[in-house]
Amino acid sequence: MSKYSVLPQNVSERDFDAAIQEFTAILGADKVLTTADKLLPYGKIMMAVDTAEHAASAVLLATTVEQIQAIVRVCNTYKVPIWTISTGRNFGYGSAAPVERGQVILDLRLMNKILHVDPELCTALVEPGVTYQQLYDYIEENKLPLMLSFSAPSAIAGPLGNTMDRGVGYTPYGEHFLMQCGMEVVLPNGEVLRTGMGSVKGDKAWQVFKWGYGPTLDGMFTQSNYGICTKMGFWLMPKPPVFKPFEIQFDEESDISDIVEMLRPLRIAQIIPNSVVIAGTLWEAATCNTRRSDYMSTPGATPDSVLKQIQKDKHLGAWNVYAALYGTPEQVEVNWKIVTDVIKKAGKGRIITQEDAGDTQPFKYRAQLMSGVPNLQEFGLYNWRGGGGSMWFAPVSQARGSECEKQMKLAKTILNKHGLDYVGEFIVGWRDMHHVIDVLFDRSNPEETARANACFSELLDEFEKEGYAVYRVNTAFQERVAQSYGPVKRDLERTLKRALDPNGILAPGKCGINI
């Protein structure tokens, strides 16, 4: 019987003992966690699979780049795999738990320094553990005229981890990887690489010029296991003189096609500059503390008749569009006329302004997200069915009405077939739509948990048949999604992995990448 609750794959207890001793010499005993009670917060939370499949063998709390370099060298000696987290709050995509049982978690949340913020160039450089709330507080306390962009719920997540997973936000700077500028990365052999202009000694353009010289490397470190990002630069939006959020409500589910056709030209032309959200009834109701048990107690999918009743009771649309205008008073006035003229011409959709909505939810938290104020309002989603099960299904489509309607109908049919609800929203990129669906289930109910797992598998299968792949997925399904992108891409990723990390110590299996 091992003294450890889990051992890393293919690592003997004797070798793991030796590795733990060396980790302790590097970090100190209080930063090396191996007992079950200390590992509990790092367990799998919301995915519909056995917790044991994603159990960690130990947790290491590093505070410096030099410590990470030393840890990587120990891992190479004993072939110990490590799974890196920044804040570890990526709940719907797998939380802090490793992709494979037995991996050692390298927790970087104590590396939480805001290294530099330049209010003139509108740039920032941060460590992995910096949260959006921390950065927001820094900007407010120092009265800097800057605006953040983040996902929701945002306060406890951080810019480095979100960008490395290619997350999106709700402001004009909502495509976060596009706004990233300069990384510092510890490579699998322990060397430190700075991307872009960062490799040039004395250069001051690391956070302002993305490309540097030669191949651009930043992208290969996102959604991968080729290095450990220890610093990241990114661009911040200057706070505009005028911020004008608004909502447009549409009554019928079938309106989705017209909505997308109406918004796409405005978004591509930057009349509406931010990442517009088109949220369904249940998404908005759940974030405002509406529970399924308020309306029905029988199992299965929620009938359309009940959705209509919720719509009426909570003053929601079947689709609720949130967008904002930013700029000088003159700019906002001109663009507001263009937007309202388009809506009038369409002949459908109710416009709700901030003056109309006041402090009512969900308008209030949506406006906060679009103006760079972090909040945790969307945690309400997890109370819709109760039991806290959640897996994000995120297929990408073209920004065409017909494509979005097809995806919505396909997702709803599959979810309802498994007795679950369609709780979804579309986030409008420049030419794409992130279709984000929260597969909610009661994880205290084994039968419903099994159904949720089967449902997620079917969503992946049926969407792939229609040519729709997901851009991001929880750790339980990363190998499955990697298969959908084909053998050529996988072979190239494996070639890079073998060249950079011949012992396969950095997060083997992440995004389906192995040696």
pLDDT in tens, 362-396: 999 999 999 999 888 888 999 999 998 999 999 99
CATH number of 242-466: 3.40.462.10
365 is catalytic: no
pLDDT at residue 93, as a whole number: 82
471 is catalytic: yes
Domain topology for 114-238? 3.30.465
Residue 389 tokens read as 């099960």
What is the SS3 assignment for 219?
helix
pLDDT(139) > 80: yes
Catalytic residue among 4, 93, 173, 365: 93
Catalytic residue among 138, 295, 471, 485: 471
What is the SS3 assignment for 412?
helix
Of 47 and 467, more confident = 467
480 is catalytic: no
Residues 269-295: tens digit of each pLDDT: 999 999 999 999 999 999 998 999 999
Q: DSSP for 432-483?
A: EEEEEEEEEEETT-HHHHHHHHHHHHHHHHHHHHTT--BS---GGGHHHHHH
pLDDT at residue 92, as a whole number: 73
Answer whether CATH 3.40.50.720 is correct for domain 13-110+503-512.
no
Q: 32, 24 in Cβ contact below 8 A?
A: yes
Rounded to whole angstroms, how far apart are CA atoms 451 and 441? 9
pLDDT at residue 376, as a whole number: 87
Residue 258 tokens read as 């017209």
Residues 429-487: tens digit of each pLDDT: 889 999 999 999 999 999 999 999 999 999 999 999 999 999 999 999 999 999 999 99
Q: What percent of the chain has pLDDT over 90?
A: 91
* Domain residue limits, the chain: 13-110+503-512, 114-238, 242-466
Residues 98-112: tens digit of each pLDDT: 999 999 999 999 999
Residues 312-323: tens digit of each pLDDT: 999 999 999 999
Give the dihedral of Cα atoms 159, 162, 163, 166; nearest 10 deg.
-160
What's the whole-model pTM score?
0.94
Site of tokens 């919505």:
408
pLDDT at residue 25, as a whole number: 98
